[in-house]
Amino acid sequence: MTYHSPNRNTWSKYLHGAGFTDMTDTARVAKMPVFMGHGGRVITSDGTLSPNMQYGDKNAIDNAVLINYMANLEYELYDSLRKPGMSVQRAGTDVVIILVRDAIMELDVADISRDGADTLKIISKILEKYNATFMEISGYTDSMKNQTAAKSLSLDMAERVGVFLSQHKISPYRMFIVGRGSARPIAAQDDMGRLTNRRVEIRLTPAR
């Protein structure tokens, strides 16, 4: 069944509670009380300690649990997203999903494609399981002369993904949504590189 994003004037309902700023340490700390008040969890309260980790330095134990949690998240995403135009990367303790625009959206329409919806459903199920994480959903374009238009297009992509995830049981209180325009290219600005630079990134960071 083909997916269509809901009418734009309803997006605020689906994204209520999301932050529209970069996911900085300060922003996460400020968001934590609201996140916890809406069913949020932190990794160190998951009860995932093995018997031989019940004793010792608390910070070391907490870090070990956190690293293990994020490693398992990375593995499940990597194992489930073996498709062209998608990749999963590790950045410290964070996990980053890179989704090239053409892999998740219609080629000539600003909407999520059928294949994109299938992919985002897979991601949603994994993010629902690993719910002790915040996420920054950021949109990017290729190089454009009109930076205002680039920001608008990139934010549209990020918001569409955020709306889809919200529709599939992912709390917007976990989300930070930003449009970065043509900033931070990850490929050359030739024909192939431009296709790669048009993308949505979902950066997952542990809640603690």
* Residue 3 domain-assigned (yes or no): no
Please give the tally of structural domains in the chain. Answer: 1
Q: What CATH number does residue 86 fall under?
A: 3.30.1330.60
Give CA separation, 53 vs 14, 43, 50, 130, 171, in Å. 40, 15, 5, 21, 31
Whole-number pLDDT of residue 6? 96
CA angle 88, 93, 95 (to 5 degrees): 20
Q: What is the pLDDT of residues 4-61, one digit of tens each?
A: 999 999 999 999 999 999 999 999 999 999 999 999 998 865 545 444 544 455 566 5
Please indicate, yes or no, if residue 2 is contained in any of the structural domains: no
87 within domain boundaries:
yes
pLDDT at 146: 81
Q: Is the dihedral of CA 54, 57, 58, 59 positive or negative?
A: negative
Residue 156 lies in a domain: yes
Indicate whether 126 belongs to any domain.
yes
Backbone phi, then psi, for 115, in 5-degree steps?
-65, -40
Q: What is the mean pLDDT of residues 98-111?
A: 92
Q: What is the per-residue pLDDT for 54? A: 47
Residue 1 included in any domain: no
CA angle 166-173-202, nearest 5°?
65
Q: Provide the whole-model pTM.
A: 0.90
pLDDT band at 189 (very low <50, low <70, confident <90, very high): low
Structural domain that includes position 193: 8-206
